[in-house]
Amino acid sequence: MNNQSSSIERTPLKTSALLLKFLGSMNLAITLLVALSVSSIIGTVLQQNQPYTDYIIKFGPFWFEVFKQIGLYDVYSSSWFLFILFFLVLSTSTCIYRNAPNMLREMREYRQTIQLKTLENYSNSHTWELSQSTTDAKHVAESLFKHNGFSSRLKEGDSNTLVAGMKGGGSRLGYLLTHLAIVFICIGGLIDGNAILKAREMLGQIVPETRNIPASEVPKISHLGLNNLSFRGSVSVPEGSRTDVLFINYKDGYLVQGLPFSVEVKDFRIEHYDSGQPKSFESDLLIHDDRLEKPLEQTISVNYPLIYDGYSIYQASFSDGGSELEFLTWPLKGVNEESKKIKIRVGDDLPMTLFNESWILEMSNFRLFNINPSDDPSKKFKNDGPSVQFKMRNKTGEAKEFVNYMVPVERDGAYYYLSGVRSSPAEEFRYLYIPMDDAGSINRFMKYLHALNDKEVLQKIAAKQNFSGSSLPSNDAAKLNEAMIRLAGLFAENGMEGVIKQVEESVPQDKREEVTELYVRVLQQMLGAVYVEVLMDEGVDVSLGVDEGKAAFFDAASAAIGAIGRYGSPVYFQLSSFVHKQASGLQIAKAPGKNLVYPGCAMLILGVFLMFYAPQQRLWVWLEPTDDGVKFVLAGHAIRNKMDFEQQYEKIQAQFDRVLTS
Amino acid sequence: MNSTNAALQFELDQQSFWKGLSAFDWVWAVIVLLGTGYAYTTYASLMDDYEKGILVSTGAGLIALGWHWKEIRGLSLAIFLLSIFGISRYVNGLEDAEVDFFLRFLVSSQSAIMWMSALYVLATVTYFISFFSRSEFAGKVASAMTWSATTMGFVGLMVRWRESYLIGLDVGHIPVSNLYEVFILFSIITALLYLFYERRYQTRMLGGFVLLVISAAVAFLLWYAFDRDAADIQLLVPALKSYWMKIHVPANFVGYGAFALAAMVATAYLIRAKAEQRNSTGVAMTLPPLDILDDLMYKSIALGFAFFTLATILGALWAAEAWGGYWSWDPKETWALIVWLNYAAWLHMRLTKGWRGNPMAIWAIVGLFVTLFAFLGVNMFLSGLHSYGEL
Ligand code: HEM
């Protein structure tokens, strides 16, 4: 019975000691360091916090779900990652707890209880038999210790005197500072990370919003109040507007964070280098707060945030703030040459009916400058001027995305209206090059296009042409005309592809090449004739043929028309004027953890340098009177940088030798 | 008794630090003081308090460095004179680099960096010649070449600094802002660290190994310059326009340089260890003894770790200003952490578990690859916020 009770008493003691030993063990520490490294690598190899749809495409639905459960899309705030960090803090704290008392003692203690035997056994040790008096020897020891930067303590024993010297106690302090710093930084980091948000989400207190709706319509459950300790979110504020909320990206949605004040963006500016690249982004802010007598005015820019009331407000990005745009819409089908004016704001959608089909125009962005690499070797960059980006969504919901440049862009000496198109954001834009006419407008191209679509015009022109001399399969002129008109129509609708398809469908294989060649020749002639007609209509004198520029225009225009079949929008939107309005992308953060992290950083730097560069070294002189003088034992010891110490010790020993044996 | 006291007094007088300084030491101090004073009086009106502080502490630091490491004086003076010369040859603007003889062939940043590259490669070859032929003389020549290469590297950066201001006043910036510039920085820092230890430990036989990394960096530099046209001075994007950059980047490269040095010392360690195992008497045995190599490896990793810690923290402070958070788990940051944790583990193993020998040497070499990935691989393979130097 007695036995049992004592063992019961001892067991908890033993487990706690074991636990302490385990937590403070180097093996655990190294394991944690390695585990932390490996998990960090995962987070860098797999791009974090992307839209969930990207991951589904990448991994398929099964693995997507598995990886989502493990938390691979946000490794650094997954529970297992936090768990590792937590253990690192625990392990380091335990380590400090176990070592600190020792270290602190080591720092101050002069090891005056050391035995002669120990000293003589040190590899750095030397003994002299001297005739001097103990007092003199003591004086020498103390002077030379001090001279070499060692502070010393004297201990008079019964039959001996010990001078114990020490230098570089800072390295012990360095250990404490370094390891305490790790604890500080980790805890601070945990406070500023989103562990708390995660916990609240798990408790069901918050649910991220995934729909794209205004902040005012977001339900309460996705709102975070002023009591939220730490966060980092962003918000886009158009010039002249203000906000008192911001958005925190969370999982596949976002949360709305309230602010105790509101931020107004008065003006946003981009300054440019001479070459046109951006030099600085800055916003003039006004902070409206009831606690202030008048709004606080401050300009922020990249690298120069505003710190207000514990909140830091950063210039993070910029975007369009609802620029007002005016377009001329040019039909790309039919014979209607009239362009129509429309007005739209960036960010708005405009339903429209085109050729009896309904479409939605979604205006997504406007850019005032397009700085692109220059072909001109003397300049690195050129400015291609304003552009708009938008989507055209058809009635089935499919959309193509377009980017149209406002001013013609130069390519190989000629100018073009550029319009890029793609079917998904993952693709590069493919560009349609619409040539600019001599008057600097798009009119001639459109006239040419519409003439090709106009059966009447084609018929007239076909009739004017005389193909009877050519070697067409049939000599029937009427049939021929019809074939030509159909060919031109095919081309206008689907480009060269349409023509080739027609050949493939209607001509036997062995004749295809011949026929295709023929068709191309005829088509070329037809297009040329239509083009000349358009020129004459314009009042150009073509009696002596067309000049090089106009010939080049013909080639470019024909190529562009050949590509229109694949273009994907029934109209061409020509940006005619705009009122630019920008929005400043602000990032607002509250990070109280940095009050731990920053001091931690300072401690870490100080600690590391102390640990490496103020290694603790000890010297002793043991004096024992002999019959005719004194036995003088010098010894030195260091636990770190032993080789350096050995050299130093040798120098010191030589000094002693010179003085003592002089 | 009297003789003891006299001897003691003599010893105390002899070895005192200030009294130990030679006339040259004082001349050095006076030169640096004059230079600093001149710079201060001329430019103080254009500087803010930080800049004044930096100028004064640079002067003081240079004096102290020159006292402790005598070769630095020659290096500093050579860099100073050549840089001033180079800068003074620019009279009409950048186009002078094409017409002026000295700029074209010696001191424009491009030429100086080409000289640096050539000299480092030659030094590598010469070090190896000295290693295999056991020629003391060749070793000395190789050292001299390394010193000259380092001088030219510094001159290249200095003149480049000036050239950036010749492009435009708003363009000018310290040349540590893109991959091309930091490779130069890496080369000269690694070389300087090596040269320091070379004098201290008489380890000339190591030179070839260390210079091998530098030659690799030079090869990359040249490829990058010629194949990718990276040698042009680039405009700073707004995020890079920060004071932090100026100290964050150099601190980082002291770290990288030291880690590279450690890895090459580790290579030498493995070679010598193998030779000892076989009782060989070949050239491998002219490498420094294992305990010196081990110590050197530890010292450079410790130095690298200290500066890498500093650099990472500076980076975090900078990120706090530029990106709105001191830590964003951006791939570059994360890899810096991985490098740091890796060396922390290395240091613990050595210090608290007493690990020595081949495993530690191999680990130090692996460490270099991890570092290399953090330095280059991240820019090449992973996307993130760090915008400088895309390949
Ligand atoms: C991220 C976490 C840690 C870092 C960055 C770190 C860093 C360091 C560094 C740089 C040294 C000096 C090594 C040298 O001088 O060669 C050191 C020493 C040491 N560390 Fe850590 N450490 C960490 C965690 C831990 C943990 C968890 C323990 C507890 C098991 C620990 C125990 C020690 C001990 C006992 C020393 C030796 C101190 C001495 O004798 O002076 N460390 N640490």
Question: Is the C-beta atom of B348 inside 6 A of ligand 1?
Answer: yes
Cβ atoms of A116 and A160 closer than 8 Å: yes
Give the domain ranges of chain A.
Answer: 14-105+175-192, 112-168+615-661, 206-229+231-321+582-590, 324-329+336-440, 446-573
Task: Label residue B322 left, alpha or beta by phi (over 0 means left) and psi (-120 to 50 means alpha).
Answer: alpha
A483: which 2 tokens?
Answer: 């074939």
Residue A611 CA to ligand 1 centre (angstroms): 10
Global confidence as pTM: 0.82
Q: Give the range with max mean pLDDT: A221-225, B97-101, B170-174, B365-369.
A: B365-369
Q: Which among B232, B338, B345 has the least Cβ separation from residue A30? A: B345
- For residue A92, the ligand 1 atom closest to its alpha carbon is 27
The per-residue pLDDT for range A73-105, each reduced to its tens digit, is: 888 878 888 889 999 999 999 999 998 998 888
Question: Is the C-beta atom of A184 inside 6 A of ligand 1?
Answer: no
A589 inside 8 A of chain B by CB: yes
B7/B17 Cα distance (integer angstroms)? 18
A514/A511 Cα distance (integer angstroms)? 6
Q: How many CB atoms lie within 10 A of CB A382?
A: 17
> In A312-322, which positions are buried (b, 16+ CB within 10 angstroms) versus exposed (e)?
bbbbbebbbbb
pLDDT for A475: 55
Question: Is the C-beta atom of B99 inside 6 A of ligand 1?
Answer: no
Contact between chains at B352 and A26 (C-beta distance less than 8 A)? yes
Q: Which of B201, B291, B329, B342 to mutate to test the interface with A (most CBs of A within 10 A)?
A: B329
A235 inside 8 A of chain B by CB: no
Residue A89 CA to ligand 1 centre (angstroms): 13
B9 inside 8 A of chain A by CB: no
B270/B276 Cα distance (integer angstroms)? 10
pLDDT at B211 over 70: yes
For tokens 């689907």, the residue is A494
Question: Which CATH number fits the domain A112-168+615-661, given the four candidates 3.30.1760, 3.30.310, 3.30.70, 3.10.450?
Answer: 3.30.310
- Residue minimizing CA distance to atom 16 of ligand 1: B347
Contact between chains at A640 and B351 (C-beta distance less than 8 A)? yes
- Single-letter amino acid code for the residue at B57: S
Contact between chains at B337 and A274 (C-beta distance less than 8 A)? no
A304 Cα to chain B: minimum distance (Å): 6
Question: Is the C-beta atom of B351 inside 6 A of ligand 1?
Answer: yes
- For residue A611, the ligand 1 atom closest to its alpha carbon is 15
A184/A329 Cα distance (integer angstroms)? 62
A49: which 2 tokens?
Answer: 């916090």
pLDDT at B171 over 70: yes
Exposed/middle/buried for B174, CB within 10 Å: 0-12, 13-18, 19+?
middle
A273 inside 8 A of chain B by CB: yes
Contact between chains at A305 and B321 (C-beta distance less than 8 A)? yes
What's the mean pLDDT in B250-260?
95
User: A381 to each of A26, A274, A277, A409, B387, how far by Cα in Å?
Assistant: 56, 10, 8, 14, 18
Strand partners, A320: A582
Strand partners, A308: A311
B337 inside 8 A of chain A by CB: yes
Number of helices and strands in chain A (H, E): 15, 26
Question: Is the C-beta atom of A95 inside 6 A of ligand 1?
Answer: yes
B341: which chain A residues are within 8 Å (Cβ-Cβ)?
33-34, 36-37
pLDDT at B7 over 70: yes
pLDDT at B225 over 80: yes
Cβ atoms of A263 and A285 closer than 8 Å: yes
B137 inside 8 A of chain A by CB: no
Q: Which of A303, A306, A661 to mutate to test the interface with B (most CBs of B within 10 A)?
A: A303
- Residue minimizing CA distance to atom 8 of ligand 1: B344
Q: What ipTM is given for this predicted complex?
A: 0.92
Question: Is the C-beta atom of A311 inside 6 A of ligand 1?
Answer: no
B34 inside 8 A of chain A by CB: no
A106/A640 Cα distance (integer angstroms)? 14
What's the mean pLDDT in B59-80?
94
Q: What are phi and psi of B326, to 5 degrees?
A: -75, -15
The per-residue pLDDT for range B368-390, each reduced to its tens digit, is: 999 999 988 887 776 554 544 44
pLDDT at B15 over 80: no
With a CB-CB cutoff of 8 Å, which residues 65-94 of chain A face chain B? 75-76
Residue of A nearest to B243 (CA): A303
pLDDT for A484: 78
DSSP per-residue string spanning B246-305: HHHHHHHHHHHHHHHHHHHHHHHHHHHHHHHHTT--SGGGGSPPHHHHHHHHHHHHHHHH
Q: Which of A36, A87, A173, A178 to mutate to test the pocket of ligand 1 (most atoms within 8 A of CB)?
A: A178
Helix spans in A471-546 (H): 477-506, 509-538
> In A506-544, which positions are buried (b, 16+ CB within 10 angstroms) versus exposed (e)?
eeeeeeeeeebebbbebbeebbbbbbbbbbeeeeeeeee
Residue of B nearest to A281 (CA): B238
Question: Is the C-beta atom of A84 inside 6 A of ligand 1?
Answer: no
Q: Which among A76, A302, A608 has the least Cβ separation from residue B329? A: A76
- Residue minimizing CA distance to atom 14 of ligand 1: B347
A225: which 2 tokens?
Answer: 């109040």
> In A274-299, which positions are buried (b, 16+ CB within 10 angstroms) versus exposed (e)?
ebbbbbbbbbbbebebeeeeebbebe
A505 inside 8 A of chain B by CB: no
- For residue A612, the ligand 1 atom closest to its alpha carbon is 15
Question: Is the C-beta atom of A600 inside 6 A of ligand 1?
Answer: no
A103: which 2 tokens?
Answer: 């270290």
B1: which chain A residues are within 8 Å (Cβ-Cβ)?
132-133, 136
B327: which chain A residues are within 8 Å (Cβ-Cβ)?
189, 192
Element of type H or E holding A151: strand A151-156
The closest alpha carbon to B240, from A273, A182, A138, belongs to A273
The per-residue pLDDT for range A29-44, each reduced to its tens digit, is: 889 998 999 888 888 8
A435 inside 8 A of chain B by CB: no
- Residue minimizing CA distance to atom 43 of ligand 1: B348
Residue of B nearest to A609 (CA): B306
Q: How far is CA B172 from the centre of its chain?
A: 23
Strands (E) located in chain B: none
Exposed/middle/buried for A122, CB within 10 Å: 0-12, 13-18, 19+?
middle
Q: How many CB atoms lie within 10 A of CB B342?
A: 21
Contact between chains at B4 and A140 (C-beta distance less than 8 A)? yes
> Which residues of chain A are modeled with pLDDT < 70?
1-13, 336-337, 376-380, 466-478
- The number of C-beta contacts closer than 8 angstroms across A and B is 148
Which residues have a Cβ under 8 Å from the Cβ of B97 and sit 6 or more positions away? B90, B103, B104, B108, B110, B163
- pLDDT cut 70: percent of chain B above it: 96
Q: Which among B303, B322, B383 has the least Cβ separation from residue A302? A: B322
Element of type H or E holding A288: strand A278-288
- pLDDT cut 90: percent of chain B above it: 59
Residue B348 CA to ligand 1 centre (angstroms): 6
